[in-house]
Structure 1
Amino acid sequence: MTESGIAGAAELLRQAKEAFRHDAAALAVVNELQSRLEGPLRIAVAGMVKAGKSTLLNAIIGEEIAPTDAGECTRIVTWYRYGHTPRITLHPIIGEPQSLPVTREDGRLVFNLGDVRAEDVERLVVDWPSASLRELTLIDTPGIASLSQDVSGRSTEFLLPEDAPMAADAVIYLMRHLHASDVRFLESFKDTTAAKSGTVNALAVLSRADEIGAGRIDSLISAAVIADRYSRDQNLRPLALGVVPVAGLLAQSSRTMRQRDFEAMQLLAKMDRNQRERLMLSADLFVHAAGPEGLDQAVKVSLVQRFGLFGIRLGVALIRGGMGNPTQLAHELARRSGLGQLLDNIAYLFQSRAEALKARAAVVGVEALLRNSPADVALRLEAGLERLQTGAHEFRELSLLTTLRTEGLSLTAEQSAEAERLVGGRGSTPSLRLGLDQEASPEQISEAARNCLGRWRLLAENPLTEPVALEACRVVLRSCEGMLAAVPAIR
């Protein structure tokens, strides 16, 4: 976000603190908005029950700290944020926060609620010294469309509050296939106002992608074809910035690979091919059948639980192809799981415009406060609020992106696609906006931006261009000018 935009959001909150200095409840909301503006980007991981949310969250963090079983804690909204020392804090619905013991079993973090029931907990907050959490706060949410209305309601209330900004700045939405419930939930984010636009902060993930091909070694290729089709689906396209296929279990286990995992796969790689393929016809057969020598049943069970048959097959194939150390294998398995593509999308679509997404939350939060405030208080803040909404170019980009994805404009399909790209619909870095390679030089960026600027200037000057499309042209032109102005900084 531009310096003026960031400063504008901070100034709006400063004015709000002054305006609400005698209202303790409102002041607490403003303080939370200020903390949010100054803190890391918040990304919620959402989806229906058994979509693999906690597994994917562990993969992103790079450690198995989110519980993946069906225990009590999977029914609670859980925040994972950076902290210098491990700490777990339980925030009850009624009462003061309390610390929970930090214990690990077989490398996994274990949550012990003691005598507290899950339904009495507002949220858990886990502080963890992971480099992945320095720039991101990840929020694990209970399954949507759960048979338990209480569990499903917790996620809906957290992700879609009635009169407040969503507690997360962006959403990674997991689905095993495109279901009507997924579309209905994502539609809840849709709003055409500049500050509330939800279409720019949702990324869909085709989770458990290895299951699409029944665990075959080419499963991710099949999943990628389906993900591409979903991304162009007319029901889903207005609701999410893209669809990424990820084999969540493999992504998690490759990031936490152990020496014994590698050694077990080495033993499998040395087996006769026909014998090995018969062994891996099913998970049950793999665990209970004899062989190879030196690989006991307990290790086989662990391999299946951690990697699944798809991950085992892929790992063995890579070892047979020449990968001779666990670090190299872990990196390649993570890449092939789809995790790398997901992390790239998070960086391009969310982290690169983190300031704009956080400032948007400040605007929505102040708007919500003003709806129930005395007229004199509202009057003192409305001018600054309107100035920020209309003056911050990032909000105008978000608004145009929403319009392009939902209502459309009187532009050709090619013009609409280019406009969407230029305002950051596929990533906010200049190279992504301009459709260039990530390693593009400043000269290439400058030339491409000038070409786009000239094209859109001609369209803006065309007397046949409709007024609504003309406003879109102005936003695109400003985005092109911003990229040109940033070229010296890129050098």
Structure 2
Amino acid sequence: MEEATYDLCHRVRGMCADALAALRPGPFADAVGAVAERLAGDTLVVAVGGRLNAGKSTLVNALLGQRLAPTGGTETTLVSAWFRSHHMNRVWVHFNDGRPPASVPSRVGGGVPRSIPYDHTEVSHLVVEAANKAIGRAFTLMDTPGRDAVSALDDYSMASIRTADALILAMPQPGEGDTATLREFQETMRGSRLSAANVLGVLTRIDQLGQGTDLEEVRREADKIAARSAGRMTGLVAEVVPVATKLAETARCERLTEQHRHALGILAAADRDTLDEMLFDHEDFLRVGLDTVPVETGMRQELLDLLAIYGIRQAVDAIDCGARDLSALRDALCERSGINRLLERLQERLVNGADALRADAAMAALHRAVDFATAAEQQVAGRLRGLLRELGRHPAMRRMELAEAAQAHAAGTLPLPDRNAGQLHTLMAGVTNAQRAGLPEDASQDELRGRIGELVDEWRSLEAALPRKGRRHTTVVREVFEALYFSLL
């Protein structure tokens, strides 16, 4: 995965350094120092959040390519865990009271231990380091406690997510409940710019959509549900990606062995009627065909634990399509699970825009930091405000203003026709100029200029028609379209 450049972040770090040089120790200096420390590491922090049992930790493991996050019920699921690449496996416990981090043994093979020798209420988060090339240096993943896991942890869960630059929202059963969850995140995280600019949705349980049905039909149904969910969350998430997380974790974490591949090959060679009967449900898979399909019960249970019925059906189909060796089978299952698509979207929508996302989060924190300035520190605070205003006019930062507009629309304070709400969403979530204008990728420059010119005129009319309260947001949209238009001349 490509690494991002951080010119804007370096400018914010410079602001922090100048302010700290002029400040004495105190709350204002501490707040500015915290921002500088956060920017010291050039990585985008991506939180994985969602409700209890949404499949967050399984998704984290699939993204990491290694089983580092706990997927069972352990006390360490009550605290956030950050995952970073390092040449050795170790875990650091960070505390709420600011005492130095403590090192604790990782799980055997690396990852979050089942328990830590501290009360979870003392802990701010864990940092899990592992010898893992898949983590890379482009982003840091954060696994967060589930919403409603323990009611007292709701504020903790929100505080953890608030420290991230972007969010992957795990949704096992998409619908109004997930929209409400995201709006709840937004309400709690005012000032954090949570929107389609930095949120990806993931439909995590596509393997449960159609047991016993055609695999292509399951995929089509998953895509339809994901598209409907994204439509309900216009302005709140950039896109909803369907992923079979159990299958993704097994394939990407290389949990399948040669013995498993051999057993799956036997299944692929079995009589189709017998195989269909076996794959009707878990109980049938364990009892049907024991005398005609030579895969023992213990191996069948292992395959169920690793793949579930959906994954076994995908594996058999992949073998039928030519994935005969273990490496080819793993690659095929990664593609079929949807994890490859998610990794592509993570790169396109979040990592490629990491500089602006991280700079915006840091600038928001600095705006809050100036509230700690004493009377004697107002000169430094005023200079910092001026620098923040200046940097806020940088073209790359306008995306964050679009995020504010999307938040206002989602909250009902910016009334927009559906057509214009969709235009705002594509402008903010688009990666290329064609996507931002809602045109095909092969659109010509003349087509782009023509369409963007139409959008400028449309939003200028909308700007004049809206009440003053909403006009500020529509002005931003119109100005961004204008900037795109002039960039094409």
**TM superposition score normalised by structure 1:** 0.84
Q: For residue 212 of structure 1, what is the aligned residue in structure 2?
A: 209
Q: 1:369 offset after TM fit, Å?
A: 1.1
Q: 1:472 offset after TM fit, Å?
A: 2.5
Q: 1:196 offset after TM fit, Å?
A: 3.7
2:50 matches 1:47 = yes
In 1: Cα distance, 2:285 partner to 2:461 partner: 68
Q: For residue 398 of structure 2, what is the aligned residue in structure 1?
A: 396
Q: For residue 162 of structure 1, what is the aligned residue in structure 2?
A: none
Cα distance 1:73–1:314, how it changes in 2: closer, same or farther (>3 A)? same
In 2: Cα distance, 1:141 partner to 1:305 partner: 24
My pick for the range that moved more, 244-253 or 371-380, is 371-380
Would you say how many aligned residue pairs link Structure 1 and Structure 2? 465
CA contact 2:437–2:452 (8 Å) conserved in 1:
no
My pick for the range that moved more, 59-68 or 291-300, is 291-300
CA offsets 1:371-415 (integer angstroms, 9 cap, x no match)? 2322424323222222222x1223323222442553587887555
Cα distance 1:88–1:291, how it changes in 2: closer, same or farther (>3 A)? farther
Q: For residue 297 of structure 1, what is the aligned residue in structure 2?
A: 297
In 2: Cα distance, 1:142 partner to 1:457 partner: 43
CA contact 2:28–2:373 (8 Å) conserved in 1:
no
Which residue type is aligned with residue 210 of structure 2?
A: G
Q: For residue 163 of structure 1, what is the aligned residue in structure 2?
A: none
In 1: Cα distance, 2:316 partner to 2:127 partner: 38
In 2: Cα distance, 1:154 partner to 1:3 partner: 29
Q: For residue 144 of structure 1, what is the aligned residue in structure 2?
A: 147
Q: For residue 127 of structure 1, what is the aligned residue in structure 2?
A: 129
In 1: Cα distance, 2:53 partner to 2:299 partner: 25
CA offsets 1:106-148 (integer angstroms, 9 cap, x no match)? xx746153533434332111112323332110000111012x2
In 1: Cα distance, 2:173 partner to 2:459 partner: 41
Which residue type is aligned with residue 102 of structure 2?
A: Q
Cα distance 1:114–1:45, how it changes in 2: closer, same or farther (>3 A)? closer
Q: For residue 271 of structure 2, what is the aligned residue in structure 1?
A: 272
Q: For 1:154-303, list aligned pairs within 5 A.
A: 154-159=156-161, 166-178=162-174, 181-190=177-186, 196-199=192-195, 200-214=197-211, 216=213, 217=215, 218-233=217-232, 236-255=233-252, 256=254, 257-289=256-288, 290=290, 294-303=294-303
Q: For residue 315 of structure 2, what is the aligned residue in structure 1?
A: 315
Which residue type is aligned with residue 378 of structure 1?
A: A
Q: For residue 489 of structure 1, what is the aligned residue in structure 2?
A: none
CA contact 2:74–2:114 (8 Å) conserved in 1:
no
Q: For residue 421 of structure 1, what is the aligned residue in structure 2?
A: 426
Unpaired segments ≥5 residues, structure 2: none
Aligned structure 1 segments of 4 or more residues deviating by more than 4 angstroms: 1-8, 291-294, 407-416, 434-438, 444-449, 456-467
Q: 1:150 offset after TM fit, Å?
A: 3.2
Which residue type is aligned with residue 333 of structure 1?
A: L
My pick for the range that moved more, 30-39 or 3-12, is 3-12
Which residue type is aligned with residue 104 of structure 2?
A: L
In 2: Cα distance, 1:59 partner to 1:81 partner: 15
Cα distance 1:475–1:194, how it changes in 2: closer, same or farther (>3 A)? farther
Which residue type is aligned with residue 373 of structure 2?
A: S
Unpaired segments ≥5 residues, structure 1: 160-165, 486-491
Cα distance 1:335–1:480, how it changes in 2: closer, same or farther (>3 A)? farther
Which residue type is aligned with residue 71 of structure 2?
A: T
**TM superposition score normalised by structure 2:** 0.84
Q: For residue 338 of structure 1, what is the aligned residue in structure 2?
A: 338
Q: RMSD between aligned alpha carbons?
A: 3.2
Given candidates 3, 7, 18, the residue that maps to 2:21 is 18
Cα distance 1:291–1:395, how it changes in 2: closer, same or farther (>3 A)? farther
CA offsets 1:80-112 (integer angstroms, 9 cap, x no match)? 01223322112244543222223436xx74615
In 1: Cα distance, 2:6 partner to 2:455 partner: 26
In 2: Cα distance, 1:242 partner to 1:205 partner: 8
CA contact 1:36–1:358 (8 Å) conserved in 2:
no
Identical columns (%): 26
